[in-house]
Amino acid sequence: MSSLQNSETSLAPVRVGIVGIGTVGGGTLKLLTENAAEIERRLGRALQITRLGARRDPKGIDISGYAVERDPMAVARATDVDILVETIGGTTVARELVLLALQHGKHVVTANKALIAEHGEELLAAAAEQKVSLVFEASVAGGIPIIRALREGLAANSIDWLAGIINGTSNYILSAMQQESKAFAPTLKEAQDLGYAEADPTFDVEGIDAAHKLCILASCAFGVPLDFQALSIEGISNITLEDIQYADELGYTIKHLGIAKRTDAGIDLRVHPTLVPKANLLASVNGVMNSVLVQGNAVGPTFYTGAGAGSLPTASSVVGDIIEVARGFGETERNSTPSLGFTELKPQALCSAEESTSSFYLRMTLTDEIGALAGITSTLAEFGISVEAMLQKEPRMADGEALATLIVLTHEVSKGAVDKALAKIKDMAVVRSDVTVMRMEQFQS
Ligand SMILES: NC(=O)c1ccc[n+]([C@@H]2O[C@H](COP(=O)([O-])OP(=O)(O)OC[C@H]3O[C@@H](n4cnc5c(N)ncnc54)[C@H](OP(=O)(O)O)[C@@H]3O)[C@@H](O)[C@H]2O)c1
């Protein structure tokens, strides 16, 4: 057992158990140890690591000085743990562990976005029942304290919208495709070689990880229930170098964004590649960095950026949560706030995919003949879609036919109208390709 207690502090130490000593759990252990004096000064009492849960000894992390449980559930039951840190990941054992810890009256800190996005309602109810805290700052955007910003710093505001680069892997791939003029597949391979992408990259490149995080952000910002199924999700695996280069020519950068907007049709929740004007702050966030832009009705636009993953950046948020929970010890009312301000979730109207509006980028190949372009614009107009800009590339010969690439940027319109127009356009004789469709956002405040 390792005590981080300073004997001069009068309050008893708050006792912490960490389960899952991997990247984040190991970083949490390191930070709690190395910054113990600074943490104690800020908190006014020590944090003491009383138990670790590790089914085997982790590589490269010395846990020999601690009481180690091989069964993670033993940490949830331990009488000498006040706050349990769950850093094992996944939604099966982690769910069981967190529920058990809450049932045993322990406060829980987790970095697990999948767990909160998919089982948050159940876990928050269990925390409320036991009058303990369940906090998860590290689950969104790693080291950026975005949940705290929404919950505390922006608490006076009605949030109009937020948009975030919340998956470092996707951002790394899109940035590298743009900077190195490389296609998706070799860039993904490079990201895997560098350790920025998993061997199975599906969760990251298909937008699921970002959707988990957006789900949590939307609940913080708008008070909507944690409902992962309600999100519209699209990843980056279909983005071509061609589209990145055309977007660039038109003054835009393609970013994979999680977007939550208050609209007349309800809260609009979506995760997808987005053309962002190059002048926008989000456009210049490259590599594995994360950033979130939040528009509050009083404060206007605010921007948060930093490391979205990694051992110590993520541990920074985990330990921040431990400290915040420990600050509430002894204050009955605060202690009975189960999720530190996350209790007011209630169903609200959600905007359907068809009603969701934005500008759109459309790319298609047309036969190079008189009237082809006019046919496209008149069909778009038929469905109420007005054109903001158009780019037609030099014709090229293919199979004895002259073909030209056309890019259309629309004004703001509903996704439903675009889908209907494209259903008609794709059957037109002059159209010789599928139509690539991407959202565009200006984020004007
Ligand atoms: N890595 C990041 O930068 C980051 C950032 C933000 C949030 N997160 C979240 O933090 C959590 C942990 O991620 P990580 O990257 O730290 O993962 P990791 O490096 O794989 O560490 C997970 C640890 O949990 C242990 N573990 C897994 N399943 C277990 C089980 N059933 N019983 C007992 N121990 C178990 C593993 O032990 P073994 O070695 O025995 O498998 C490992 O030590 C995830 O929810 C992740 O989404 C991670």
Please report, for the domain that includes residue 324, its CATH number.
Answer: 3.40.50.720
Kindly state the average pLDDT of the residues 30-44: 97
Q: Pocket residues for ligand 1 (CB within 6 Å)?
A: 20-25, 55-56, 58, 72, 87-89, 93, 111-113, 138, 142, 309-310, 314
pLDDT at 5 over 50: no
Nearest alpha-carbon partner for 109 in 89, 88, 83:
83
Q: Is residue 5 part of a domain?
A: no
Mutate to test the pocket of ligand 1, among 55, 61, 204 (most ligand atoms within 8 A of CB): 55
Q: Is residue 285 part of a domain?
A: yes
* 162 touches 301 (CB < 8 A): no
Q: Is residue 424 part of a domain?
A: yes
Nearest alpha-carbon partner for 257 in 281, 234, 237:
234
Whether residues 135 and 153 share a domain: the answer is no
User: Which residue lies with its CA nearest to atom 29 of ligand 1?
Assistant: 88
DSSP for residue 207: T
Whether residues 304 and 165 share a domain: the answer is yes
From the CA of 2, how far away is ligand 1's center (Å)? 22
> Would you call 213 a catalytic residue per the annotation?
yes
Whether residues 242 and 288 share a domain: the answer is yes
Beta-carbon contacts of residue 363 (< 8 Å; ≥ 6 apart):
242, 243, 246, 405, 406, 407, 408, 435, 436
pLDDT at 402 over 60: yes
pLDDT at 342 over 90: no
Q: Which of 113, 213, 255, 261 is catalytic?
A: 213
Q: How far is CA 319 from CA 34, 89, 274, 425, in A?
A: 12, 17, 33, 54
Over residues 140-197, the pLDDT tens digits come to 999 999 999 999 999 999 999 999 999 999 999 999 999 999 999 999 999 999 999 9
From the CA of 25, how far away is ligand 1's center (Å)? 7
Cα 136 from Cα 328, distance rounded (Å)? 16
Whether residues 281 and 317 share a domain: the answer is no
Q: What is the pLDDT of residue 415?
A: 98
Whether residues 129 and 150 share a domain: the answer is no
Beta-carbon contacts of residue 76 (< 8 Å; ≥ 6 apart):
17, 19, 84, 97, 100, 101, 104, 106
* Confidence tier at 329 by pLDDT (50, 70, 90): confident
pLDDT at 336 over 50: no
From the CA of 23, how far away is ligand 1's center (Å)? 7
Mutate to test the pocket of ligand 1, among 59, 71, 86, 87 (most ligand atoms within 8 A of CB): 87
* Confidence tier at 384 by pLDDT (50, 70, 90): very high
Q: Is residue 435 part of a domain?
A: yes
From the CA of 75, how far away is ligand 1's center (Å)? 16
From the CA of 56, how far away is ligand 1's center (Å)? 13
pLDDT at 399 over 80: yes
Q: Is residue 343 part of a domain?
A: no
Cα 237 from Cα 312, distance rounded (Å)? 29
CATH code at 409? 3.30.70.260
Q: Is residue 120 part of a domain?
A: yes
Atom of ligand 1 nearest to the CA of 112: 45
How far does CA 57 lie from the centroid of its chain? Answer: 31
Whether residues 180 and 48 share a domain: the answer is no
Domain with 297, as residue range(s), is 146-308
Q: Which residues share a beta bridge with 307?
A: 289
Whether residues 246 and 328 share a domain: the answer is no
Whether residues 158 and 304 share a domain: the answer is yes
Q: How many domains does the chain have?
A: 3
Judged by DSSP in three states, 328 sits in coil
Cα 228 from Cα 340, distance rounded (Å)? 21
Query: Residue 99: what are its φ and ψ, rounded to 5°?
Result: -60, -45
Cα 262 from Cα 45, distance rounded (Å)? 42
Mutate to test the pocket of ligand 1, among 18, 19, 24, 312 (most ligand atoms within 8 A of CB): 24
Q: What is the pLDDT of residue 10?
A: 82
From the CA of 20, how far away is ligand 1's center (Å)? 6
Whether residues 241 and 188 share a domain: the answer is yes
CATH code at 245? 3.30.360.10
Whether residues 172 and 239 share a domain: the answer is yes
As a whole number, the mean pLDDT across the chain is 93
pLDDT at 389 over 60: yes
Q: What is the pLDDT of residue 339?
A: 52
Over residues 226-248, the pLDDT tens digits come to 888 889 999 999 999 999 999 99
Helix, strand, coil shares, percent, the chain, to 5 = 40, 25, 35
Judged by DSSP in three states, 156 sits in coil
User: Which residue lies with its CA nearest to atom 10 of ligand 1?
Assistant: 111
User: Which residue lies with its CA nearest to atom 34 of ligand 1?
Assistant: 20
Burial class (CB in 10 A: 0-12, 13-18, 19+), 8: exposed
Atom of ligand 1 nearest to the CA of 21: 43
